[in-house]
Structure 1
Amino acid sequence: MEINIQLKSLADKINQLKNKIETEESTKHAFVLPFIHVLGYDAFNPLEVVPEFTADLGLKKGEKVDYAIFQNGEPIIIVECKSWKEKLTIHNSQLFRYFHVTKTRFALLTNGINYQFFTDLDAPNKMDEKPFLEFDITNLKENTINEITKFHKSNFNVDNIVSNASSLKYIKEIKKQINAELENPSNDFTRFFANKVYTGRLTEKVVDEFKDLVQKSLNQFISEKINDRLNAALTKETIKQQDEEIVTIEEENKIITTEEELEGFRIVVAILRRKLPTNRIVHRDTQSYFGILLDDNNRKPLCRLHLNGGKKYISLFNQNKSETKLSISCIDDIYEFEKELLETAALYETE
């Protein structure tokens, strides 16, 4: 199962269960361990996942972090868990203390819903105060799923993740700044645009007036870009549908229903009318064969006639809807398969 499907399944489970989860231990078992499993690690294998991981911290003995994920005998991720009802705060976290005494480059702080991944970008062997990857598992975007995939057991590569972590960290912070400027443009941000379009002196009053203009301009620009993308997508889909309709029409135009096929259909109707109303027996011609269906339903084939080639055939269907193709010399031979046709019709009636 692909990781995006597993994450979606876990998110659905969390939304269903969270109001029944009361403790930190329950959060670990119901939410965190399944997430570790999604990453490809066996929570019941002590060589891969060690609960209550202990490392000696100078004079402090016996302090434990909730989980350590191991690879090749070394911890690669240490995990500290909180109850899903708690907000995550890195202050006083044991992750800081454990990070520099283990060989791990990654630490995870989570309440089972919100996840924060840390590394040591700012100073070697010292955990950063800000996470480079942060997400709500119940509201994942595609680019975030791509980043989570890098932590999967089959993909895990320390150098690749660390080299990408710096970009993720700064992209996250830049996006926060962009959001802040969109909601309430700063003086510096406003001046940047005002200087481009205003020829007068940028007094404090002028800057204040431009704040509203800058905010409206940005929001309108973003809305127009989104609408352009949507319209382009809709146009593309419309063209695709039109092309499909043209292809369908062209294929239908190539189909010629012969009098022999219609005569064969009338023979089948004559056989089956003892068990079925004639209006339920329908023919549908294709380029490959002349199909006869019950209730005009493709899932209920009664038989197929192959009459346009050098040799003539009839296809019959058993209870598993497996097709058997039998040779006939002329359409009158269809009468020889009366028993099989009636059995097929009876089968669908039983269903």
Structure 2
Amino acid sequence: MTPAPYTPSDAPAAHRCATLKGVLLVTVLALGISQAAALPLFVQLGLSPLILGIVAGAFVGNVLKDRLPACYAQGIHFCARALLRVAVALFGLRISLQEIAHVGWPGLVISLLVISSTLAIGLWCGMKLLGLDRETALLTAAGSAICGAAAVLAFESALRSAPHKSAVAVGSVVLFGTASMFFYPFLIQAGWLHLDAQTAGLWLGGTLHEVAQVVGAASTLGPDASHVATIVKMTRVMLLVPVLLLVGLWISRTPKSGLASGKGRLTVPWFAFGFLALVAVNSLEVLPLSLREAVNGLDTFALTMAMTALGMETRFEQIRHAGPRVLAMGAILNVWLFGGGLAITLAVQRLLG
């Protein structure tokens, strides 16, 4: 029997099939990455599935770049964009206003000062001192200032920047955040820094990059420091959306920004408001704990898929071009977070503690 001729009505079905293949590939990779992230070695290093996802994704994407069928690109791009936005919105279920209020004004003021100063220093150093484009400088500064890879993902989705810019920004966050996770507690335990549990928790939560890094570092200092550090860190996470809105307003006033959108403005999409809405829902305590834990687990996996897809869209030659300058910027920001962040913490504690 002669096969039926192709008609335009077949196009949507073919498109969905191609997208599904790419999504399934990313899902399988993310499953393996999630299993690997649970190994004791990676747990001790504080390397979350998100971090391993972008590394593994970049490796697979570059090794298979000439062997992977072109149709898979649609599904990979879907995971790196649409799925990413849903996952960032769901991140709001991890935060409640009650937890933030528990730490009080010191935690909020430290978070605001650390975020604003780190973003300002990062943009100035990245663009003026190191000659980076605004997207790369902003992604790297946001990752250092707010919440590591999750902040890079949120800004990347709003900026619609090239995948390699997110990859180098995440690389900087991983390198310096992981080093700080071990270095900060060592200084305290060795007696080089004399900080009580409250102050240590405020400092760690206010300056370390990733949520996992904060938890790992603070857990070595006892439950009191760990509790304070986690809440302060989640306060910084909650400030992600207000910062997106303010940065978007700033960029919209500078038309010649050179952003990927070509319109000179940062688009703040629906996921930002979804994030805030879910923070409010979580604060009302209307959802069962089991449901919130299940959604948070799915959200972590969705973020892992998004990071894996971003890595697969990244090419090593693009990273090599900006890598050294981004690492230099990350080093400068890490020095500021250590010294400047400690000074901010002590000053706020003295005034408001």
TM over 0.5: no
Q: Scaled by the length of structure 2, what TM-score is found?
A: 0.21
- Structure with more of its chain in helix, by fraction: 2
Q: Scaled by the length of structure 1, what TM-score is found?
A: 0.21
Question: Whose relative contact order is higher, 1 or 2, with alpha carbons under 8 Å and at least 6 apart?
Answer: 2
